Chains A and B, each alone.
Chain A
């Protein structure tokens, strides 16, 4: 039995995951919206602390809450449409430049363009694997699928990313 107070247990969770949840949100929405997503995510975690701490992976549990927060905004009722347009049109951060040559930079930009042209579900799977570095099992926890389904869908999403990039390159010529 954990005899620490709720506040102490929450603080440990908060301190160990804050940057990861903030990064997750900033990769998907603008910085201003990301702060809202983080606040809502941790408010849910505070209310459902036992669930958050008892999850197989607490950070994946938090990603799931953030994922649903963003998805609900995007999928929600007509009254949320303005917010969703804002979410869709807000300039998202691109990769931190580690490329030394303009050619590399162009290719990275084209890859991000291709990613943003995929269906939202494909984008999410690819982002969770590429940026959050989650395993299939952890991704399954975030998106509410089985690991086997994630494996298949991620494979297909990566294939679609390659196809879209080739199409983008074709258009650019």
Chain B
């Protein structure tokens, strides 16, 4: 294989899935799934759309009511999402109270399914979306890829360290480190430091540091503490488990 071959070209000819052994739509499992799905009732789309609009309006009203409290906290972390039809803050919008962390992607469905429209965007298509944070802590998602839009509307650009994906990534990394330590009978501090550094790096947290509390002979193992605000993992001496 030539040394300078583009890895993308290598991938194109090495599909990880072998279609000759892949079940097709006539397989027993595929047929069972088909029957299960088609035996379930289909929703009345007009009722669904109407109900979704009503819910969206109700949620937006709740978000606006909550805004006063949020403003008092002066916390810029987004607490809800408002999807705008244009880059005008007075434009029609759909409010969403996400069950999970608020993200720009939550506004894809309102574009695809029609509550949001814009004369410059074909119906059902999703324009480029950019998130800004209002003073009330709402993630305002605007149909543009203009990187200066937040500033020009007097809104804040979401702080990367407060981004939901980033927060989620931190929580996941912490869980991974805890799993590692808990899964071993006794991890020596040197070994723990190397492995924790590796987990942090693999999860994109290269700016995090590791600090070690002074070692003690009666505590040869390692326990873990996190100081998320200081982006630090603390290695704490721990006795051997009985």
Contacts and interface: CB of A to CB of B under 8 A. Distances in A.
Interface of A: 6-7, 10-11, 14-15, 18-19, 22-23, 26-27, 35, 38-39, 42-43, 46-51, 54-55, 68, 71-72, 75-78, 81, 84-85, 92-96, 98-99, 103-104, 107-108, 111-112, 114-115, 119, 126-127, 129-131, 133, 144-146, 149, 158, 161-162, 165
Tell me the dominant secondary structure on chain A's binding face.
helix
Nearest to B13: A98
Contacts of B38: 7, 10-11, 46
B103 interface: yes
22 contacts: A7-B38, A10-B37, A14-B30, A19-B19, A19-B24, A26-B16, A26-B22, A35-B29, A47-B42, A49-B42, A54-B124, A75-B165, A85-B175, A94-B14, A95-B11, A95-B16, A96-B15, A96-B18, A98-B13, A144-B126, A146-B128, A158-B6
B78 to A, nearest CB: 15
A66 to B, nearest CB: 14
Contacts of B13: 98
Interface residues of B, number: 52
B214 interface: no
Contact of A144 (B7, B108, B176, B179): B108
Nearest to A10: B38
B22 A19 contact: yes
Most buried by B among A49, A75, A104: A75
Most buried by A among B6, B17, B40, B100: B17
A94 B16 contact: yes
Nearest to B22: A19
Closest 6 CB pairs of A and B: A95-B14, A18-B25, A130-B11, A93-B16, A23-B17, A111-B7
